[in-house]
Amino acid sequence: MQTHEIIKRFREHFENAGHTYVPSASLILDDPNLLFVNAGMVPFKPYFLGEAPPPYKRATSIQKCVRTPDIDEVGKTTRHNTFFQMAGNFSFGDYFKEEAIRLAWELITKSQDDGGYGFDPERIWVTVYLDDDEAIELWKKVADLPDERIQRRDGKDNYWDMGVPGPGGPCSEIYYDRGPAFGAEGGPVVDEDRYLEIWNLVFMQDERGELSPKLGHPPIGSLPSRNIDTGMGIERVAFLLQGVDNVYETDLVLPVIRAAEELSGRKYGVDPVDDVRFRVIADHARSGVLIVGDGVTPGNEARGYVLRRLLRRIVRSARLLGIDQPVLVRFAELVRDAMGPTYPELVSGFPRIAQVLKAEEDTFLRTLEAGERIFGTAAGEVKAEGRATLPGDKAFQLHDTYGFPIDLTLEMAAEAGLTVDEDGFRKLMAEQRARAKADAAGKKTGHGDQTVYRELLDLGATEFTGYQELASEATLRGIVREGKRVRSAREGEIVEVVLDRTPLYAESGGQESDAGTIVSGSAELEVVDVQKVARKLWVHQVRVLSGEIAEGERVEARVDPEWRVGARQGHSGTHVVHAALRQVLGPSALQSGSYNKPGYLRLDFAWTGGLSESTRSEIEEVSNLAVRRDLPVSVVYTDMGEAQEMGAVALFGETYDDTVRVVEIGGEWSRELCGGTHVEHSSQIGPITVIGESSVGSGVRRLEAYVGIEAFQYLARERALVQNVATLLKVPDAEVPARVEALVERLRAAEKELERVRAAQLLSSAGSLAEQALDVRGVAVVAVRLPEGIAAGDVRTLAGEVRNRLGEKAGVVALFAPDGDKVSFVVATTNAARSLGLAAGKLVPAFAPAVDGRGGGKPDLAQGGGTDPAGIDQALAAVRAEVDRAVDQR
């Protein structure tokens, strides 16, 4: 049975049982606890927690999921996937254990002719939570299962939660006995390779805290209602029904392995080592394409880092199979063809997906070539010194300078028969992070204890009136201070307030929240921020400017009209620039993120390579032509299916309700799903001035622009600047560029001449330094502190020249150059000194601690730096002492 048929039968079975089919959500959801959706229930989490009312009592879905904690096990076992499809059925306070068991049993055991999967009931085993006697009795009642095929297991196996605070509950897992050829008798508690888990029924009734009931800790409470959350692994069912040995050989995965065989000339199933590489390629190709398809681009943090790691493991595995040509786009085409029927966005978005993959592969191939060379040198030095561990600083250098993920260095080290000092590497990584600036775009809220908001949500969702009016009468439903509900707030306090209706826009879709005020008969509140909770509740962070405010009062919420004018211009301007971008660059230049506020917009989009000045100008011109045409701006409310048929653009990572809002500018010219506030005609946006374009990651560019009065002000400043420069240069405005260019050329020529003179002066001191050499057991040692501020490159040049002046002598040159609170150093040795065992690289450890530094290099030349110039004199003495010791021991 093909995978698409397995999916079709699952969906039909549960739709026939009254379940609403819910299409798969994006792998990227607005949940700070998750990099990727890792379970079928994640999109339904607000309903299970009671944060939002479910729009249906029963639902079913085929959810795409990614789990990466076991990434290193992919390919080594036949059970691990990073990407998988989780088929699930869900009940929100409707049916519970008995119905869940019955529905699952019917589908898996019903004959294939009758629309089921046709599994032999005599080969089905189940497990239940330790004390769940009710589930045991229900399995006997519904499925007539004997006691010997029902096994009890503890919380580690049969209690489910997401690994973070949230919903959970005891579960019952369904296993299929593959037969004696695959392992020992005794059920799942004995062998989970022979007895393969295919379905997990979670009886979701608990809310877990920081400590999980999986480890024996009690839940912190009960969910508002008892629910059902199930998950059937599509890939596992597929390999059982297709009669193959593992998930890698199923119909949707095997084509990639076959392509890798063709490209490499090697065969899958012959060499166990090669088989791991084939499986890594097949698994990661699916994951990579699906992740890129949902808007993630390779990077060095969070989701981007996981994606980069997956893609680079594909390229690395292909090279180890002997494939020396680009492979990512070729494999991606096969994934698109296999997965497209279920996820059509892979087909429509493939040009962008291919573009991102090609850019990452090109980058990594360059990285790989340079990094392998550096690794080979480092590994050779380690082996030459009789050691078996690559130092942590070398692994860090490969990561920091050459972009090598640590797992790739670990793999290469293992292939070379070495280990890696991972502790040392991670220490250096931690130091680097500590120096980095905090991410200014960090999340404002997380999924902590939101009980207080749940109480307020029970009173009803907030009605947003801001599309129609700038001021609304409202009732103050709740006041929250430091996570706890309070009755009132006084002047000077900063609290959160929830109203039954509000015109103030809550931050979302890239648009900043509105500025404004909330007033009552006795108090005035300044609105500092507005955020959504559970997508239904508007939470206003306010500062009480005067008076006292209390729950239940009637108030008026007011938007600052000037702020709203600018906000509408910024958001509509974003849509216009996005449409212009796609018109100039093509449909694959899709927005992958945005931020807008009054007078300013920022738009991230998928693209490789910087935009030329002419391209930027064309985007700006197309945008302003749209403004001049006074295009009408309209809003249509519809469902997602119709919106997609209309060609509306959905943005990556955004979550949409069943009814979506489509914003059109000039009809089909710009048509996007959007909940933001907008102008009524494009002319109201005002001028759009592009002020910058830059890279924000592999395959992602960022365009910035001013709109409206801010664009006027920017252009006025630019004009004044040009006029001031023209006045200083005493030329007309039009001649400023040529005159500035001439001045720059003259300045460069003068700097080159100064550099030549300075270098000549520096090198002229080489002779006198060589004459200062001290004799240490027959070795001429020049250990000198140089004047302040000499660049590291010049120190290296001078050290080489001093060494040359020593001629045939056995000589060691060690020069130290302080520069503020830092110091650079270079050590050079002559041929005669090296014949005595005096290698430059080996001398560094003897003196580097004195200047709190580190460094290294080859026998003839080594260099490094430190952070303690006060230790230079001690370092000079250490150089002489180390030469004395080394020669004495020969």
576-629 tens-digit pLDDT: 999 999 999 988 788 888 999 999 999 998 887 889 999 999 999 999 999 999
CA dist 494 and 617 (Å) reads 45
CB-facing half-sphere around the CA of 793: CA atoms within 13 A: 2
Q: Find the range with the poorest average confidence among 683-687, 702-706, 851-855.
A: 851-855
Residues 373 and 421 in one domain: yes
Which of the 8 DSSP states describes residue 681?
A: B
Average pLDDT score over the chain: 89
Mean pLDDT within 465-483: 94
Residues 502 and 642 in one domain: no
CA dist 155 and 234 (Å) reads 24
C-beta of residue 829 within 8 angstroms of C-beta of residue 860:
yes
Task: Express each pLDDT in 266-309 by its tens digit.
Answer: 999 999 999 999 999 999 999 999 999 988 888 777 888 889 88
Residue with tokens 């039009």: 734
Instruction: Give Cα separations from 516 to 111, 117, 132, 504, 710 (angstroms).
Output: 63, 59, 54, 7, 20
444 is a domain residue: no
What are the helix and strand counts (H, E) for the chain? 26, 35
Q: 835 has which bridge partners?
A: none
Coil/strand/helix, residue 727? helix
CA dist 752 and 722 (Å) reads 28
The yes-or-no verdict on residue 826 having pLDDT over 50 is yes
DSSP codes of every residue in 734-797: GGHHHHHHHHHHHHHHHHHHHHHHHHHHHHHTHHHHHHTPEEETTEEEEEEEPPTT--HHHHHH
CA dist 426 and 328 (Å) reads 30
Mean pLDDT within 818-822: 90
Which of the 8 DSSP states describes residue 609?
A: S
The pLDDT of residue 445 is 38
Task: Express each pLDDT in 743-770 by its tens digit.
Answer: 999 999 998 888 777 767 777 888 889 9
Phi, psi (degrees; rounded to nearest 5) at 655: -110, 135
Report which listed range, 73-77, 217-221, 441-445, is most confident: 217-221
Residues 424 and 475 in one domain: no
CA dist 258 and 269 (Å) reads 11
Q: Is 674 annotated as a binding residue?
A: yes
The pLDDT of residue 447 is 39
308 is a domain residue: yes
CA dist 357 and 332 (Å) reads 8
The yes-or-no verdict on residue 450 having pLDDT over 70 is no
Residue with tokens 């698409």: 4
Residues 500 and 376 in one domain: no
Mean pLDDT within 808-824: 93
The pLDDT of residue 456 is 87
The token pair at 408 is 């790739």
Residues whose CB is less than 8 angstroms from the CB of residue 227 and which lie 6 or more positions away in sequence, other chains included: 47, 48, 90, 91, 92, 93, 96, 167, 204, 205
C-beta of residue 195 within 8 angstroms of C-beta of residue 153:
no
CB-facing half-sphere around the CA of 575: CA atoms within 13 A: 36
Q: How many domains does the chain have?
A: 5
Phi, psi (degrees; rounded to nearest 5) at 884: -60, -45
The sheet with strand 633-639 has its strands ordered as 633-639, 659-665, 670-673
C-beta of residue 806 within 8 angstroms of C-beta of residue 830:
yes
Residues 415 and 457 in one domain: no
C-beta of residue 792 within 8 angstroms of C-beta of residue 827:
no
The boundaries of the domain holding residue 468 are 451-559
Residues 39 and 100 in one domain: yes
Parallel/antiparallel/unpaired status of strands 537-546 and 494-499: antiparallel
Provide the CATH number for the domain around residue 656: 3.30.980.10
Q: What is the longest distance spanned by two Cα atoms in the chain?
A: 100
The yes-or-no verdict on residue 451 having pLDDT over 80 is no
The yes-or-no verdict on residue 534 having pLDDT over 80 is no
760 is a domain residue: no
C-beta of residue 270 within 8 angstroms of C-beta of residue 257:
no
CA dist 703 and 688 (Å) reads 12
The pLDDT of residue 874 is 94
Cα dihedral value 378, 379, 380, 386, nearest 10 = 110
The pLDDT of residue 458 is 80
The token pair at 437 is 């600036």
CB-facing half-sphere around the CA of 273: CA atoms within 13 A: 4
Instruction: Give Cα separations from 717 to 710, 724, 874 (angstroms).
Output: 11, 11, 55
Say which amino acid occupies 463: E
Residues 82 and 225 in one domain: yes
Q: Which residue has the higher pLDDT, 792 or 119?
A: 119
The per-residue b/e assignment along 677-715, b for 16 or more CB within 10 angstroms, e otherwise, is: bbbeebebbbbbbbeebeeebbbbbbbbbbbbbbbeebe
CA dist 519 and 309 (Å) reads 52
CA dist 224 and 439 (Å) reads 36
The pLDDT of residue 79 is 65
Provide the CATH number for the domain around residue 175: 3.30.930.10
In terms of phi and psi (left: phi > 0; alpha: psi -120 to 50; beta: otherwise), the region of 534 is left
**pLDDT band, very low/low/confident/very high, at 656 (cuts 50, 70, 90):** low
The token pair at 55 is 């729009």
The pLDDT of residue 644 is 79
C-beta of residue 827 within 8 angstroms of C-beta of residue 860:
no
Q: Is 571 annotated as a binding residue?
A: yes
Residues 264 and 397 in one domain: yes
The yes-or-no verdict on residue 438 having pLDDT over 60 is no
Provide the CATH number for the domain around residue 537: 2.40.30.130
Q: How many residues does the chain have?
A: 890
CA dist 879 and 812 (Å) reads 9
The token pair at 746 is 């003259």
DSSP codes of every residue in 524-546: EEEEEEEEEETTTEEEEEEEEEE
Provide the CATH number for the domain around residue 815: 3.10.310.40
Vertex 562 angle, CA 560 and 564, to 5°: 70
Task: Express each pLDDT in 108-145 by its tens digit.
Answer: 999 999 999 999 999 999 999 998 999 999 999 999 99
Q: Which of 410, 435, 460 finishes a domain? A: 435
The pLDDT of residue 154 is 93
Q: Which of 559, 582, 608 finishes a domain? A: 559
The pLDDT of residue 791 is 82
Q: Which of 699, 716, 733 finishes a domain? A: 716
CB-facing half-sphere around the CA of 642: CA atoms within 13 A: 9
Q: Is 284 annotated as a binding residue?
A: no
755 is a domain residue: no
Mean pLDDT within 636-649: 85
Residues 422 and 276 in one domain: yes
Helical axes 350-384 vs 392-402, angle rounded to 10°: 150
Closest CA to 214 of 166, 167, 163: 163
The pLDDT of residue 441 is 34
Whole-number percent of the chain with pLDDT over 70: 95
The per-residue b/e assignment along 141-162, b for 16 or more CB within 10 angstroms, e otherwise, is: ebbebeeebbbbbebebbbbbb
**pLDDT band, very low/low/confident/very high, at 443 (cuts 50, 70, 90):** very low
Task: Express each pLDDT in 24-56 by its tens digit.
Answer: 988 987 666 678 998 888 888 888 877 778 889
Residues 471 and 417 in one domain: no
744 is a domain residue: no
Coil/strand/helix, residue 187? coil
The yes-or-no verdict on residue 242 having pLDDT over 50 is yes
Coil/strand/helix, residue 708? coil
Report which listed range, 51-55, 176-180, 655-659, 852-856, is most confident: 176-180
Parallel/antiparallel/unpaired status of strands 600-606 and 591-597: antiparallel
721 is a domain residue: no
Q: Is 65 annotated as a binding residue?
A: no
Residues 196 and 340 in one domain: no
423 by Cβ neighbours in 10 Å (0-12 / 13-18 / 19+) ranks as: exposed
Instruction: Give Cα separations from 433 to 284, 426, 439, 852 (angstroms).
Output: 28, 10, 11, 20
End-to-end CA distance of the chain: 76
**pLDDT band, very low/low/confident/very high, at 442 (cuts 50, 70, 90):** very low
DSSP codes of every residue in 439-485: -TT--S--SS--HHHHHHHTT-PPEE-TTT-SEEEEEEEEEEETTEE
Coil/strand/helix, residue 511? strand
613 is a domain residue: yes
727 is a domain residue: no
Residue with tokens 């190709």: 285
Residues 417 and 474 in one domain: no
CA dist 482 and 22 (Å) reads 36
Residue with tokens 């001191």: 765
